[in-house]
Structure formats: structure tokens, C-alpha cells
Amino acid sequence: MDGVIALYKERGMTSHDCISKLRKILHTKKVGHTGTLDPNVDGVLPICIGQATKISELLMHSGKIYRGAIMLGQSYDSEDLDGKLIEQVAIDKPLANDQIDHALAKLTGDIMQTPPMYSAVKVNGRKLYEYAREGLTIERAARPIRIDYFKQIKPSHYDETSKTQTIYFEVACSKGTYVRTLAVDFGKLVGFPSVMSDLTRISSGGFDISQTSSLSDIQSAVDAGRIDDVLHPLSEALASYPVYQLDDSRWEIVSHGGFLDKSICPEHSAVVRLDYQQTVKALYKFDEKVGQYRPFRMFLA
């Protein structure tokens, strides 16, 4: 059983919970996810099965798209609603659309972001959230991220009773981006405390939320002997790479981990997918030093 399941992760579950349940449903230990989703976030979580666990890191580095909401007027220590309220400021005059758009635009492109204290980033061998739970704030270095776009998807909502304003957004971002920190940084730009009040991941690893299956869907597929209904083959997961069809002689070279000359890929792409008899067998990466393609990921089993 080799391929990728585009899992719809429900709220209230950790990514590790999902892995544990899938191992039992699929009766295999070769299951790996492509980056975690917080328990209070739902949406697309690509799960790699069997040989596909070798591409987990590649899928993890692909861009991601989220939809969510930022509430202005309150801030929380965790940067989402799961934490403790630490500041509250009444918004007497809500922001206009052009003010919102201007601030969102400032948070796009190649920017630096400081990881939140409630995160799994390690400093001095300990995860930041471990320090945070002890009431400690640790100095941490900002890291480069890329925000392709950060935009409103519908008009904001102003609550007269709570004196808060909620902004609804969509963001396309690189691996390593903390969207809740983007929400906090947005608030700083407009001069109000803020918190990420809702978040759904709608795209990750090349898979869209419309392609996802729930844990119950997967269990039903297994019970009916129709796992292929929810398991995307390696050829689909690696569809973005140029493909070279191996002949018998070159397959013999690849099966022994040999190098191939650059003629296999006229576009001279950094990575090329190698198929033999309509089956994905390897990803090869161009080595500038030797001027040839060498093994990068092998799927020979």
C-alpha cells in the first residue's frame, strides 16, 4: 500500500492522533504526516503511506493555503482562543476596508517572523511551549518566511456588544509560517490587540480540501475493500515533476542506484521523476559537480 491520503483533520485532534488512528485502520506502521496542524485547526493534512513516506519532507515544503478570521480588540497568550486573555481594548470605530487591505498587504512577500512562545520550536534543547507553560518568555530568532498573498475574503464584522471587529482572510504561505502570529502582527500594524479566532487549512502538499477524506471515510473504504478510493498514487503526488520513461537499459542502471546523463531531461530541471512500465520508480536530482542526475528518492520495492 503506497500513496498519499489527503486527510480532512477534524478539530480537537492532534496530527499524532490522526497517525495513530490511521495505523490501526490501515494495519500498517508505515504512516507519516507532512507537518502538524494544531488541535483547534481543521483541514488538509496529507498523510504518506508505505513508499510515499519517502516524500513526506517534499510535500511538507510545498506552499499552504489557509482561510480564517482575526478578531481585533482582544489578545491571548497563545495567539489563538485556546489561551488566556491578556489584553482587551474596545474598538469604538471599526477599521475601513482599505485600512485592512493596506495592513494585510504589508505582511506579504519575503518577511521575517518570530515564532510564538506556544510552539514546538526548540531553544536550548527544549520546546518553546514548555518554557511558556512555566510562565517564561525566551528570546528567539526571527526566521524568513514567504507570504504569497494575504487578503480579505468577505466584509469584516463589527460586534457592537463586545466592541470587537472580525476580519475574514485567506493566506498563501510557505512552510514554517505561523498564521496566528500573522494575526497578531496584523493587530500591531493597525494599533489594536488581536487574535486568530478561526483557521482552516484548505490546501497543502498539492492537495485541495475538496480532495480530502475523513477518518470515517477511510475506514469505510477499507471495510469495502476500496482503499484506492481514498489513496492517491505516487504518480499523482509527484505530478509536478517532469517525467522520464525509463527503457530497459536505463532501468537496469536505476535499479542499482546508478547515475544518468542530463539528456533524460531536456528542460534541465533540478529534479526529474523516473517511471518504468507506468510505475514511479525514483526521483533523480541533478548534480552540478558531476553533470549527471543522481538518486534522490527511490521507490524500488
The C-alpha cell at 47 is 498523510
Angle between the N-to-C axes of helices 97-106 and 179-190, in degrees from 0 to 180, rounded to the nearest 10: 120
Select which of 2, 17, 38, 98 is catalytic.
38
Pairing of strands 42-49, 194-204: parallel
Neighbouring C-beta atoms of residue 183, cutoff 10 Å: 27
Q: List C-alpha distances in Å: 272 to 238, 240, 248, 259, 260.
A: 10, 10, 18, 13, 11
Contact 213, 7 (CB under 8 A): yes
The C-alpha cell at 179 is 498564521
38 annotated active-site: yes
Grid look-up 485547526 returns 41
Q: What are the DSSP calls for 92-157, one per residue?
A: SSPPPHHHHHHHHHHT-EEEEEPPPSSS--EETTEEHHHHHHTT-------EEEEEEEEEEEEEEE
- Catalytic residues, by residue number, are 38
